[in-house]
Structure 1
Amino acid sequence: MTSATTMTAALPVEHRERLMQIARHVSFPEGTRLFEEGRHADRFWIVRTGTVALDLHVPGRRAPVIESLGHGELVGWSWHFTPHVWQLGAEAMTPVRAYEFDATTVRAMCDADPEFGRAIAVWVGRVLAHRLHAARTRLLDLYAPYGSGER
């Protein structure tokens, strides 16, 4: 993940502080599934410590890991877009400590303050673009005859 997609780099200080006012401290033991592809996306996290793997359901195969996320990175973007359904799965690869955010509350904050909402949307959009590229590259590496060509 590029530094431009971390919350610290992507959000102005005033928006970051506002978002952090509603953060909950949570922790997950290694092996915990944070969410499953296709289920309702009602929250998201910022990793404080540990590693979270994003994976993709592939019928008839083990779910490949698309990307590993660490300190400062956003886990989950599906909460921001209707129909609020997870597009990937996520699992704690190590013990994880994170900030957790309620999606309904954050969406209401975005609706109430268009400047805040725009900043959140741009941040989530950058993360989404990065994840799409990572998923494409990983799937090419796994399933294309010559891989992604990025070696």
Structure 2
Amino acid sequence: MSQSVPMTPESYQKLQEELKHLVRVARPKVVQDIAEARSHGDLSENAEYDAAKDRQGHIEGRIAELNDKIARAQVIDPKTISSDKIVFGATVTLFDVDNEQEVVYQIVGEDEADIKAGKISVTSPVGKALIGHRLDDEVRIQVPSGIKVYEVTDIQYR
């Protein structure tokens, strides 16, 4: 059995919109580009044809990937979660014991992860380490530069 892919409703919506665009716009355009390039004659030295075929391969691959993720999607709305533990969707405030600074992360699916926006993947080392912890817990996380020690100062589901 294939593994479910946890994601927020926003991420699920984005994947559906991207799939719709690829199927309705990008795929027909690349088919048209291939037909046009074919009409130029000898395909063995036709760079336009090769480029269009490459684009078609990328588009079809992405369509297959999106269909798979959407089929396995486990849509989780953080607003509906009530837990005193850190789980998928939590927005967590951490106190970095070493540099005495606060950081805030939301634990999201892989496709949504964006460290600049404070969104970390549930499958990342930090995301995995935080899961299951409670308020005031000390969390030790192995990172490339060594071990980070955080104290959980707030957990919200929004």
TM-score by length of 2: 0.27
More helix as a share of residues: 2
Bigger Cα Rg:
2
Q: Which structure has more RCO (C-alpha within 8 Å, separation ≥ 6)?
A: 1
TM-score by length of 1: 0.28
